[in-house]
Structure 1
Amino acid sequence: MENQKQVQVVRHFSESFKQEKVREIERNLTTVMQVSKVYGVTRAAVYKWLYKYSAHRKKQIRQIIEPMSDTHKIQEMEQKIKELERLVGQKQILLEFREK
């Protein structure tokens, strides 16, 4: 039995991408947790982006995070796609069964 090593992919995000995500967090369009999950980065990395690019952090303004966001909408759409793919698969199985 072979030992399989996990290959860790090193990704680099552009400064403009990081700034955009920080602006989304500041406008309560997304949360740190959602950015972390959707883009596969650690929460610590997202917080570093916040401390580096956020105007609010520099002024020490406290921010209240709302639950609805673009990232949340993306996750909902992905769930909907999975459900639709499951339904299409079931219909395909029924069609194949009826043909036989």
Structure 2
Amino acid sequence: MIKSGKRLGPRKIYSEDFKLRIVKLYESGKHSVYELEKIYDISNQSIYKWIYKYSKYNKKSVKVVEFKDSQMNKINEMQARISELEQALGQKQMNIDYLEKMIELAKQEYNIDIKKNSNTPHSGGSKTTKKN
């Protein structure tokens, strides 16, 4: 017992081979630190220490950052939304191109200028009329 009255659990000591195996599992990309923590009942602090100590890729000066599942889901949802918006934008651009071509054909075939010119007089449809 310690001064606060809490009991400390037994301290776990892991072999060098076990630590290396955990780091290899992490580096292979098959498991995240969170998954290894749950599977092997090891604190994530211990796993990160081992990664910094034994990893070929992650050194002390480099901070290891992992996305939680909810963050990855959010990123995937945002990427899907971006794809939807890009597709909608492409369809709108095709509609604009089609309408511009129709305006051009109307001018060529029927000599009708559908686009409003700045010198065209405004229609009187919106003016109020006097009652007699």
Structure with the bigger RCO (C-alpha within 8 Å, sep 6+) is 1
TM-score normalised by length of structure 2: 0.39
State the structure with more CA Rg. 2
The structure whose residues are more often helix, as a share, is 1
